[in-house]
Structure 1
């Protein structure tokens, strides 16, 4: 679901860049809007995948909800994974209280995930936070590439508009 949301946000920014039906100011606003939504989507994606290797989550949930069946526990986790990035922020904090993953020296909370996502998207680089798994490294590389593509599209629009005004 997050991957679909990312693709939709990327398509919005590409459509805005090449559409002749909207003016330059609206193009920049749509690209900026898509950029921010991609940032939030990746932040939420990091939040859920920062402890991919930690399988204690299911055990912690099952110990807290001993009376519930395994199907119900799986349903809770699947429901958490398929929330949309913006609407699901409240759910992430609720599930964080229920799941309480045991994470050491990793991203600790949604704010850290947004920080990591923003630093990657803005191509600043990060020395204080590093991806811990191959999956997170792949997400980081893809997000950095996506950040570069959006910046190139926005700069191309600006240069194109500046050339038309002269």
Structure 2
């Protein structure tokens, strides 16, 4: 008896490769959709550019708010010199935001009126902001309540004044 091995027939050998369909194009099929895509991309680019410009334009506000927080932490509960420090901070912030020729000559009631106009209210000339007119000159005596109101007003002015 001879050693015979069964013949194994490969069932896959007779198959033919299936032709693949052509690849799908990523380019939109119609010109209208292409135009829409270009317009959307342009709109996103313009919005990003405006957002970046606004972010850079408000850099002085972020720096002023950081300085205000630093002032409040270092001076803590000691109101001595706080009003003068806040007056200096408001003046520096205004010089960063507005033209120097407009801000530099202002003092007293004119300064407070300018702050009211740029903020949209009368809290500087009629309220707690009156301390800013005399604080840099050392003639200010303010209690803790007035200083707290002034701190809140300065923070609101830095965040919301109109340039």
TM-score under structure 1 normalisation? 0.25
Structure showing the higher helix proportion among its residues: 1
- Select the structure of larger CA radius of gyration: 2
TM-score under structure 2 normalisation? 0.25
